[in-house]
Amino acid sequence: MTLPQPTPKPDWMDRPYWVDPPSGWRYGFPKLYDPAKDGPMRAWMISQGYPKALADKGLNCTFTATEGTA
């Protein structure tokens, strides 16, 4: 039996991209997230004003890639 292979991470996820969580407009989102500088996304979102209680329910965010490179 062959085990399924993990889906490779899209290349745009290595450079800054826009993150918009549910009801994010209430907390100033969408905001630009830089994975190289900002650390884990969930912790970053909470530090940016997104409520921990909402983040604890799971994050079903919309992501928008930026053009070019970081």
Q: State the residue range of the domain holding 42.
A: 13-65
Distance from C-alpha of 42 to C-alpha of 17, rounded to nearest angstrom:
14
> What is the structure's pLDDT at 48?
97
Residue 70 lies in a domain: no
- Number of CB atoms found within 10 A of residue 65's CB: 13
Residue 4 lies in a domain: no
3-state secondary structure of 27: helix
Running DSSP on this structure, what letter comes out for residue 10?
P
Residue 50 lies in a domain: yes
pLDDT tens, per residue, the chain with 70 residues: 788 887 877 777 788 999 999 999 999 999 999 999 999 999 999 999 999 999 888 778 888 888 765 4
Residue 59 lies in a domain: yes
Residue 2 lies in a domain: no
First to last CA, the chain: 40
Residue 3 lies in a domain: no
What's the total number of domains in the chain? 1
Task: Tell me the CA distances in angstroms from 46 to 16, 33, 35, 56, 60, one per residue in order.
Answer: 18, 12, 15, 10, 15
> What is the structure's pLDDT at 47?
97
